[in-house]
Chain A
Amino acid sequence: MQEYQLEIEEIDQKKERSLQKIFKWFLKNIKFLLIPGSRIEELSRREIEYEKNRSQRKFIRRLKSVLTISGLIIIFIIITLAVFPQWISPFSYDHITGIHPSAWGRPNAINILGRTAQGRDVFGRLVFGARTSLTIALPSIAISVMGGVVLGVLAAYYRGWLDSIIMRVSDVIFAFPGLVLALVIIKIWGARIEYILLVWGLLGIPFYARLIRGNVLQARALPYVAAAKVAGAGNWRIMFRHILPNTIQPIIISFTFDIGGVILGLAALSYLGLGDASLVEWGNDISFARGNLYTAPWASLWPGFMILVTVLGFMLVGDGLRDALDPRLKNI
């Protein structure tokens, strides 16, 4: 009986002691327990994730400057105009390409920005023109970037005669003025916008090839390339899965600037009257309405303003990206 009681007392004392122990541990560590995720294993895992996201979060924070946000808003508006023109413009596509009375109408309540020579609504032509500019600029840039990146990476990785040939041919193509080539192509094959697009795409390849070649030349001397080789990676795998993602950064920045450049070039070609005159395009509008600049300035000045705003949007985003990706500012 006594033994039982002793055991019960011991067990009770042990319970008390363990309860006290738990209680004391709790009090001692309460300041750590109140931090979310303070258990040791979870802490190191969260630390790793926190560090991984830190550069991304800093990038996004640096991207949030006023000018860059306004650039993104502008691009968003232009893309909306390009994708949903029939819902934004009060007049239909048939009106935009038809002939109506009241030519050179002044801006009033119905025609917000006035009418052009053929009585078409200027605002409607602005809205429908966004689609043309974007659908011509983007494939052209895509050709330049893809061709340029592939050639640049190949040239810089293999060096030797491949590098020399690609660089010399690039220099010759680079020196050729794009406008002249576009004019000659128009003369030979007619004002087909697909050919002009292709030509500008090909003319832009040397620029991107040179741009990425510098970075790849630096990257291929780094240890991770040697490590990948030792691990048995083939050449193509090293080039396009290891080196390329680390060297793509200046390409992204130049890409946004170049979209603006191609839109300007296309507008210039249409302004000279050498583009496809049946396209609904801002440059075409300016060239049609140029003669009546003083009597009906709205028909030629508003399309020009739209070109300015579109290119400005892309340039703002390009600037913002360049400042955010700048490696020297990593600690700010």
Chain B
Amino acid sequence: MSLIKYIFRRVLIIIPELFGALTLTFILSRLMPGNPAVALLVSRGIPKPNPNIIAQMEHELGLDLPIIIQYFRYLGELFTGQWGESVVIVRQMPVWDLILQFLPFTADLAIFSIIIASYIGIKIGVISATHRNKARDTIFRFFALVGVSVPIFFMGMLLQYLLGYVIPIFPTASYKSIEYKSPPRVTGFYMIDSLISGKLYLVADYLVHLALPIFCLAFVTLAGIVRQTRSSMLEILEQDYIRTARAKGCKEKDVIHSHALKNALIPTVTIIGLNVAGLLTGAVLTETTFGIYGLGRLLVDSINLTDYWVLNGVVFLMTLIYLCANLFTDVIYAILDPRIRY
């Protein structure tokens, strides 16, 4: 079937998946201990609310309605943008503003890591496949295997110790040095704001601070990409059409890049898509190790501190990102390989 029909069907499939995930989230957030009404009242400045006020706030929030109506209210509020306000993390701050404070750091980490990891990973995967079982291949395979099995916090801590303490090259925590002030907020992204304000030392400072976390994330992502690229390249290099291309007199460079790599990239794109989704939904461990407060850290804190509306908003956003990344991956897959359009 045509590409448009495939995209249409794929987008249609997202809707029940999204509703399923939201239903699960609703059930879980209702099971969490604590009364959202009480938490909201406490955050608004009433430390010990009496039962009348609690009942009034519950009526306002709709917590005394039947559970089905609460479910539909929950869905309505999520989709119309009324995500409530935070009650513990930053009191009385709207959830969307809170998320926008921390999302840019996660986005920066994710974007830099994915670009570096994809570019280097595909190159290394091709080299590893074309020089199979030689010294280069064995070394790359070993590093890829280590990258897949290393716990990312251990790697972060090791780098902090070796490159931040023993040989003090890199700073070990946070995204900026304490003595520098943040640039005035235009977009929310630290690098863009620093460039706009003209203070280039802030950009350099930011990049040096993010170097270690990006290295950790890129290393782990790169390992998966190298393994997948190598395995699919090996499978393709055995095919008859590669032999035909060589027999026709194609340069080896063209054979590998124009013929083999194009087809080998298809499963690799799936892996990259999954990794983008995973990185964008917050690399909690890296953010905890390096003290960068991003989306993953916000999620963990909102669960621990039972910040009800922040939790709903963040999980909704993460589910949306995850499903969109999967959709994007499937569409690219269908564009690259016309046989896949079921």
Contact = CB atoms under 8 A, between A and B. Distances in A.
Contact of A301 (B154, B238, B315): B154
Contacts of A180: 299, 303, 315, 318
Given A184-B28, A312-B145, A301 B157 contact: yes
B21 A312 contact: no
A188 B306 CA distance: 10
A77 interface: no
A67 B20 CA distance: 43
B157 A316 contact: no
A110 interface: no
A272 B300 CA distance: 9
A311 B154 contact: no
B28 A260 contact: no
B69 interface: no
B158 A177 contact: no
B160 interface: yes
Interface string B122-157: 000000000000000000001001101111011001
Given A267-B151, A316-B145, A328 B235 contact: yes
Contacts of B28: 181, 184, 188
A258 to B, nearest CB: 12
B90 to A, nearest CB: 20
Interface in B259-317: 281, 284-285, 288, 299-300, 303-304, 306, 315
Contacts of A311: 149-151
B70 interface: no
A183 interface: yes
Interface stretch (B37-45, B113-121, B319-327): B319-327
A219 interface: no
User: Chain B at the A interface: mostly helix, strand, loop or mixed?
Assistant: helix
B207 interface: no
A304 interface: yes
A316 B153 CA distance: 21
A175 B326 contact: yes
Nearest to B23: A172
Contacts of B32: 184, 187-188
A300 interface: yes
Contact of B285 (A181, A183, A271): A271
Interface of B: 13, 16-17, 20-21, 24, 28-29, 31-33, 142, 145-146, 148-151, 153-154, 157-158, 160-161, 165, 235, 238, 281, 284-285, 288, 299-300, 303-304, 306, 315, 318-319, 322-323, 326
25 contacts: A175-B322, A177-B322, A180-B318, A183-B303, A184-B28, A184-B303, A187-B303, A188-B31, A188-B32, A264-B149, A271-B285, A272-B285, A293-B165, A294-B161, A301-B154, A301-B157, A304-B151, A304-B154, A307-B154, A308-B149, A311-B150, A312-B149, A315-B149, A316-B145, A328-B235
